[in-house]
Structure 1
Amino acid sequence: MAEPFKATILNVNDDSASRYVASRILEMGGYRVIEASTGQEALKLAAQHRPDLVILDVQLPDILGYEVASRLRASPDTASISVLHTSATFVTPDKRVQGLDAGADGYLTQPFEPAELIATVRSLLRLRHAERELRVRADQLTAADRRKDEFLAMLAHELRNPLAAIMTAIGILERKPTDDVKEARMRAIIQRQTHHLARLVDDLLDVSRITRGKVELRRERMDTLSVLQQVLSLIRPTAEGRGLSLESHLPGTPLWVEGDSTRLEQIFMNLLDNAAKYTDAGGHITVHASQEGVDGSAQVVVRIRDTGIGIPSHKLPDIFELFAQADESLERSRGGLGIGLTLVRNLVELHGGTIGATSDGPGQGSEFVVKLPVAPHLSPPFGKPQPPTGHSLHRRILLVEDNSDARQALKDLLELWGHRVQVAQDGMEGLALALEVRPDLALVDIGLPGLDGYRVAKELRARVGRNIRLVAITGYGGPEDRSRALQAGFDHHMVKPVKPDELNRLLMDL
């Protein structure tokens, strides 16, 4: 059998008789003991042997035990060692406080009984052992959290590749009208579910980034009404397709806020999608927006009310917590990951706002209220130029993509728009083709075999300069991924699955 673990104790005392007695008591208690008679020797032995506990007399010939304890705590190598002060002279309450403030874990007055010493040592060792276990556990959780984030990023990339191919393919099919009612219905289903899957992937990654504090808002002074109108136009077909009526009450004057338009759209889209999801056919959804309060306390208030399944009173306090679900039925027919409202709350709070939920109970519907600070009074910003309608000029385009389905679907779509397209399935082939044919534009995936998209961009910038426009089309969609793409030389960064109309707008803008 293996020898049972024995804790090592450093016994520090300049009085040889007192040191001998304490060491014998500890050895009889089953501990390994090493000894020191000065403060400097104690610091050296502690760093060398890393004992589990230091029994430290306060009165030492070179430096006081208070200073020894303080230095032990200050060094990363010895900070986790337990320290027990002992003294026959420094025994007043203020001296005990001084010792504990210096870093000691306990304080014994000499002379002490053997049983008292052993019991105190055992108590301190138990506490230190528990602290070490907690530290190890915390390190394990940190490592697991990092691996989880890496897994989510890779999962998103792998999911976005097939989603990109499906979305591009349905974009091509939509350009060819069909008289077959069933086929048209199937196309609509594929399109809706593909967009739904893409949103689930985005929400999953966003909530992970937000909980780690890695989301930065791109703030600008903007009109909340424009965001609401955009979201309503997107959600209306879904709501009406489910047999719901959607009504909005919006003011005729702007509702200015300092916000990120993409994130605000995400907030209201999630809330309206939830309302539609949890309201049965024949139900009603109402959106009301207004400005409340005056001057510094003025707020833009958006209320989204539905006549759906409602929220039980015991669920209301936790409705914005991660993985909370209003649908408690076994079949969970409403779907969802339980992360949408957590994401919404965090995004609202990043904007300096608040969100609340109310419900009269099951079957009584629910209301979500978003409140955002009104932007300071400034001259209205110039409107953003609207992209032209129609298709962009015909261009020579190089497409570098290793996923065969995504590559073929995007090639067919670009050729349908009248562009001349050449394709490559890896980074080396893409770089060689770009140097040979000198395209106007290269659409480059990042996760390529051999030579990744970042290196392709850097090589092209070094060899061709600014005579080619580079667009990263990738499943890696975090802010750090966008920043890295721009640093590598890309002009734009687009996250898969790219919507055909967004790609066409980009080509027109270029």
Structure 2
Amino acid sequence: MVEPRLATVLNVNDDDANRYLVNRILALAGYNVLEAATGMGALLMAQQHHPDVVILDVKLPDISGYEVCERLRADPNTASMAVLHTSATFVTSDKKVRGLEGGADAYLTQPFEGAELVATVKSLLRLRHAEQVARHRANELAEMDRRKDEFLAMLGHELRNPLAAIMTAIGILERRPASDDKEARMRGIIQRQTNHLARLVDDLLDVSRITRDRVELRPGRVDLIPVLRQVLQVLQPMADARGLGLEVTLPPGPLWLHADATRLEQVFTNLLDNAIKYTDAGGVRLDVAQEGVDGSARAVVRVKDTGIGIPLGVLPRIFELFAQADTSLERTRGGLGIGLTLVRKLVQLHGGEVLAHSDGPGTGSEFVVKLPLDHAVGAPAPARQVADLRRGRRVLLVEDNADARQAMRDLLELWGHQVAVAPDGLQGVALAVSQPPELALVDIGLPGLDGYRVAEALRARVGNGIRLVAMTGYGGPEGRDQALRSGFDRHLVKPVKPDELDRILSEL
């Protein structure tokens, strides 16, 4: 059995008799004792031997004990040492205050009893031990948090790759008529559940960024109405599958916001998805209006359902992380308890607010989002119309996931493109050099040569005429920035919807 290490105490005093007496008291109490007679000597001993406690007389022949303490605290190598000031002459309260504010942990006035000195040293050692435990735990938590973020990023990548293959395969099937109603229903189920899984992955990764305040917006001038229509288009089949009515009231004109359209879509997808999920009968209403004028004008979006409602005890914390309206053991509604936390944070980042209301279980719920309108004069210029570019283009697909590669190849060939494929970065670069494509779709997480280095190599060896699109399971903003710096024209997060990919190809 390993014996516990004896605590070491550095005794600093220029009076030889006093120093000897304190040394004897500490040695008899079982401590290892070091000594110094000057302030500079104390600093040198502290650096060399790292004592647990420094008993530091205030009056020293070279520099004062106050300055010694301040220097100990300023040095990271000695900052954690416990310091006990002692004094026989500077005993006024203002001197004690100066010592304690300068970094000392305790202050004893001489003469003091040996038992008082030992008890004070023991107290400081307990405090030091507690601080060390807390510091060690904080370091462990920081390391665990770092590993958790790495795990979530890898988890997102590993989940998005199979989701990408499924979504691309469904995109191919949708372009052919179903043989019967049953097949059409099965396709719808796969499509809805794939979209649901993709949203869960996005939420899971976003909540990690939110807890560290690392969510970034990419705002622009956005009309809220098309954003909501896009959300409704995705969620309408889910409402139909549950036999729910989905009533929508939209204003006749646009509602311009300075906002991130993707994040707004995430907000309202979460709210409408929850409303549908927690409603067994009746329906869901989406009402959109404008309130206020000029500088105070806001877009107001209300999502109201006839569902299970929210218990009054849960309502005040419904936006907290992992809060759940359905707390029963069955947990039939699913969900991670993070969607509403994301909603609140994203709305706040847009300068808005979100409110929740319910009269209790069985009474339904209402969520109200208020977002400030953009007061810039006039609408933005219309987007440049892109010609139909469905002629066969030479496309290079670099993807290491075999199913995703095959599904994407089939989809691109269905659209009439000539497709060359490579399972890793080195083969992708070699193919591009020997047969230069017009456009390359490149996965980032490739074996051998990652997608960033592939882009750099293609820019250097093929030139700027080729269009490069990154497709990745890593969805962080830092990945997008690195992709653009590496030479990519666009950055897409898997799973990429076929319609979105078709639009990107046409624009490029």
Which segment is superposed worse, 106-115 or 173-182?
173-182
Give the one of 490, 496, 499 matched to 2:497. 499
Quote the offset at 1:238 in angstroms: 1.6
| Aligned-residue offset at 1:220 | 1.8
Match of 1:240 in 2: 240
Distance apart, 1:222 and its partner CA: 2.4
Q: For each residue in 1:184-238, what CA deviation from the matched residue of structure 2 results, as whole angstroms up to 9, or x when unmatched?
A: 1111111111111111111111111121222211112323233223222322222
Aligned ranges 1:423-462 → 2 under 5 Å: 423-462=421-460
Deviations 1:280-303 (A, max 9, x none): 1x3121122223334444332222
Spell out, residue by residue over 1:348-398, the C-alpha distance to the aligned partner (whole angstroms, 9 max, x if none).
11112221211100000011111222333433322334656x663320111
- CA 1:187–1:126: 2 relative to 1, 3 Å: same
| Percent of pairs with identical residues | 69
User: What is the one-letter code of the residue matched to 2:411?
Assistant: L
Q: Which moved more, 1:316-325 or 1:152-161?
A: 316-325
Amino acid at match of 2:419: V
Quote the Cα distance in structure 1 between the aligned partners of 2:389 and 2:349: 37
Residues of 1 paired with 2:403 and 2:4: CA distance?
62
**Does structure 1 residue 324 correspond to structure 2 residue 326?**
no
Q: Quick check: 304-313 or 212-221, which moved more?
A: 212-221
Cα deviation for residue 425 of structure 1 reads: 1.0
Tell me if structure 2 keeps the 8 A contact 1:308–1:366.
yes
In the TM superposition, residue 102 of structure 1 has moved relative to its aligned partner by 0.7
The answer for unaligned runs of 5 or more in structure 1 is none
**Residue equivalent to 1:395:** 393
Distance 1:131 1:277 in 2: 47
Whole-angstrom CA distance in 1 between matches of 2:386 and 2:301? 29
How many angstroms apart in 2 are the aligned matches of 1:429 and 1:221?
Answer: 41
Q: How many residues are matched?
A: 508
Pick aligned residue for 1:470 from 468, 478, 482: 468
Name the structure 2 match of 1:373: 372
Partners of 1:165 and 1:75 in 2: how far apart? 56
Are the equivalent residues in 2 in contact too, given 1:392–1:504 (CA < 8 A)?
A: no
The TM-score, its normalising length taken from structure 2, stands at: 0.97
Aligned partner letter, 2:192: R
SS in 2 for 1:311: coil
| TM-score calculated relative to the size of structure 1 | 0.97
Cα deviation code 1:258-313 (max 9, x no counterpart): 21111011101100000000001x31211222233344443322221111000111
For residues 105 and 338 of structure 2, the distance between their equivalents in structure 1, rounded to whole angstroms, comes to 43
Match of 1:14 in 2: 14
Q: Which amino acid aligns with 2:61?
A: P
Unaligned runs of 5+ in 2: none
Local SS of the residue matching 1:355: strand
3-state SS of 2:33 partner:
strand
| Number of the residue aligned with 1:314 | 313
Distance, in Å, in 2 between the alignment partners of 1:259 and 1:498 is 22
SS of aligned partner of 1:266: helix
Structure 2 counterpart of 1:361: 360
Matches of 1:176 and 1:223 in 2, distance apart?
33
Q: Residues of 1 paired with 2:382 and 2:22: CA distance?
A: 82
Within a 5 Å distance, the mapping from 1:105-504 to structure 2 comes to 105-280=105-280, 282-385=281-384, 392-504=390-502
C-alpha spacing 1:108/1:469, structure 2 compared with 1 (3 Å): same
Distance 2:4 2:470 in 1: 60
The alpha carbon displacement at 1:161 in A equals: 1.0
Q: CA RMSD in A?
A: 1.5
Secondary structure of 1:370's aligned partner: strand
